[in-house]
Structure 1
Amino acid sequence: MNKRSSVFSALTVDVEDYFHVAAFERNITPADWDSLPARVEKNTTRLLDLFDTHQAKATFFMLGWVAERFPALVRDIQQRGHEVASHGYNHSKATSQTPEEFLQDVSRAKSLLEDLTGNAVNGYRAPSFSIGKTNEWAFTSLKQAGYLYSSSTYPVVHDLYGTPDWPQQPYLRTEGIWECPMPVLSMAGRQLPIAGGGYFRLLPYWLSRHFISRYVQQKDIPYMFYCHPWEIDPEQPRITDAPLKSRFRHYVNLSKMEAKIGCLLQDFNWRSVNEVYQPYFQS
């Protein structure tokens, strides 16, 4: 790709540390978090610097636990012109919480982030895309907490999450909140996940670029990419007692990720969810 696409896509970062991930939840409990070496501030700042280099703006879905311990990081994200959104407080899957627990978690995170930034927090993303048919009540809780939009569903078949028969375009739910699902590409009768994360680390960059370019050219809805700060940190501590599948998913190609993101920033134009999806939110 010799020239950038003229279309703006949504760049998103789920701000959590390596020990928060669901892949290690059987090995590391929340009680362990404060005793582990935190790397999220340094890694997020590296992403911020990389985004600055390419004049890219993003939405940072902040974990409340992180924001509480690194308030200067939240303010830095805002001051650099990015959108601060919520990833909940405790990185608990929505499917593992009661409606009351979920409402408390998302309200706590929203209030904390708004106190730090002085701005309304409009967006939320559930850990592990954990909103689906079994807990649609979560959208009612998000509306009640005051969110404008969610980006918590992925219309693919996956062993850990997925809503393959739900809409692939942004839509206003009956609960009164917008849902902006992760992008998929339909190929050979399947919905291919092309939004980033582990798939982006696993595939060669030229193939990911091809899929994203095809999506941008064919679809009249925005493309959205996501990553995590720990994905650019090959020096992070290794959780050696985790299952092999979990370790593979988490550690594959960490050393290549930062350069891949740099290529992505160069080849496409990036703005926050709030900006890219504004035509939907105003309709």
Structure 2
Amino acid sequence: MQTTNHNARKKSSIINAMTVDVEDYYHVSAFEKQFSRDDWDKLPQRVEHNTYRLLDLFDNHGCKGTFFILGAVGERYPQLLKDIHNRGHEVASHGFAHKRATTQTREEFKADVERSKLHLEDTIGQAITGYRAPSFSIDESNEWAFEVLAELGFKYSSSTYPVKHDLYGTPHWPRFKYTRPEGIIEIPVPTLKLAGKQIPIGGGGYFRLYPTMLAHKLVDKYLAKEQQPYSFYFHPWEIDPDQPRVTDAPFKSKFRHYLNINKMEGRLATLLDRYHWSTMQNVYLK
């Protein structure tokens, strides 16, 4: 794999936020009907190895980022949490069991998020202030989730994606950082407004779907047009073409999950060199 030196000239002086949703291939919402919670401990585990690969990649490119860590992963790999923290990255919460917030009651949601937050804090010895809902699953149906986050002591969330999608989406909500009535700062995943439509450009499967040059062009246009920081998200399983294949999932789910994962690491290395990156805390809260 070819990479460029991390001291290469950047195309924008804006500092952007690099984020990783730390979960394994079997945690994803697209495969929730194929894997039950009881299956998890019996399956091949890939997330620890893949996350260490990402930590090395980030080191090689001078990148610091925010790791939204699933509590189930954190409890299984406490040393991984400590290493993420000790290598200068921000540790944040992705909840515990990767259950979409839209499928939980308020009490279930609070218990899930609180368990994750307490474990993360106990492990790294530092307050956890950031949260991201699995599958960006806070919307008009469960705005009480922001009240729960405030109760638990979070300062910010990045749990909304202002696009239309079959699993998530708040297309009529704000596109940029704003403070909620509950006191939580919400940082939506970036979209680019073109011809009256909001185009998803925040990462994940969309980044693997778009040709590399187009993906860069969309980010460049966003930075030039909006003069706002850009944030990018992805998952450790996206750089793992050797992960076990789920054969009995719907075609659409398999297409989204496996598309171009053999190219993702190289594309990510190019992205790391092309822009300035830091944590959510440094980009949005300072």
TM-score (norm 2): 0.96
- Identity rate, percent: 58
Q: CA RMSD in A?
A: 1.0
CA distance, structure 2, for counterparts of residue 49 and residue 196 of structure 1: 20
Tell me the distance in 2 between the aligned counterparts of 1:221 and 1:213: 11
Describe the superposition over 1:237-281 as per-residue Cα deviations: whole angstroms up to 9, x where unpaired: 0010011110000000000000000000010010000000024xx
1:108 counterpart letter in structure 2: R
Match of 1:185 among 189, 192, 207: 192
Q: How far apart are the structure 2 equivalents of 1:215 and 1:47?
A: 26
Question: Alpha-carbon deviations, 1:166-189, whole Å to 9, x = none?
Answer: 001111100111100000000121
SS of 1:254's equivalent in the other structure is coil
Match of 1:139 in 2: 146
Gaps of 5+ in 1: none
Give the Cα–Cα distance (whole angstroms) in 2 for the partners of residues 127 and 278 of structure 1.
22
Alignment partner, residue 28 of structure 1: 35
Counterpart position of 2:86 = 79
TM-score normalised to structure 1 length: 0.97
Amino acid aligned to 2:186: E
1:63 aligns with 2:70: yes
**SS of 2:263 mapped into structure 1:** helix
The amino acid of 2:9's aligned partner reads K
* Post-superposition offset of 1:7: 1.2
Matches within 5 A, 1:249-264: 249-264=256-271
**CA offset digits 1:122-148 (Å, max 9, x no partner):** 000000000000000000011111100
For 2:97 and 2:207, the matched residues in 1 are separated by: 26
**Matching residue of 1:267:** 274
The residue that corresponds to 1:3 in the other structure is 9
Q: Once the 2 structures are TM-superposed, how far is the Cα of residue 3 of structure 1 from its aligned partner?
A: 2.8
Could you tell me how far apart the structure 2 residues matched to 1:162 and 1:278 are? 24
Distance 1:23 1:168 in 2: 25
Alignment of 1:109-128 (within 5 A): 109-128=116-135
Structure-2 separation of matches of 1:54 and 1:163: 33
Unpaired runs of 5+ in structure 2? Answer: none
Letter aligned with residue 62 of structure 1: I
2:262 is paired with a residue whose SS is: helix
Q: CA deviation at 1:72?
A: 0.7
Instruction: Find the partner of 2:246 among 239, 244, 262.
Output: 239
Q: Show the counterpart of 1:88.
A: 95
SS at the partner of 1:88?
A: coil
Q: Distance in 1 between matches of 2:197 and 2:190?
A: 13
Q: Aligned partners of 1:243, 1:274: CA distance in 2, in Å? A: 37
Partner in structure 2 of residue 104 of structure 1? 111
Instruction: Kindly report which structure 2 residues correspond to 1:212-251, keeping only aligned pairs within 5 A, or say none.
Output: 212-251=219-258
Secondary structure at 1:168's aligned position in 2?
Answer: coil
**1:135 partner letter:** N
How far, CA to CA, are the matches of 1:7 and 1:80 in structure 2?
23
Report what 1:162 is aligned to.
Answer: 169
Greater than 3 Å deviation, 4+ residue runs: none
Q: Distance in 1 between matches of 2:42 and 2:159?
A: 29
Q: Give the distance between the partners of 2:26 and 2:75, measured in 1 at CA.
A: 16
Distance in 1, Cα, partners of 2:211 & 2:68: 26
Tell me the distance in 2 between the aligned counterparts of 1:20 and 1:160.
Answer: 15
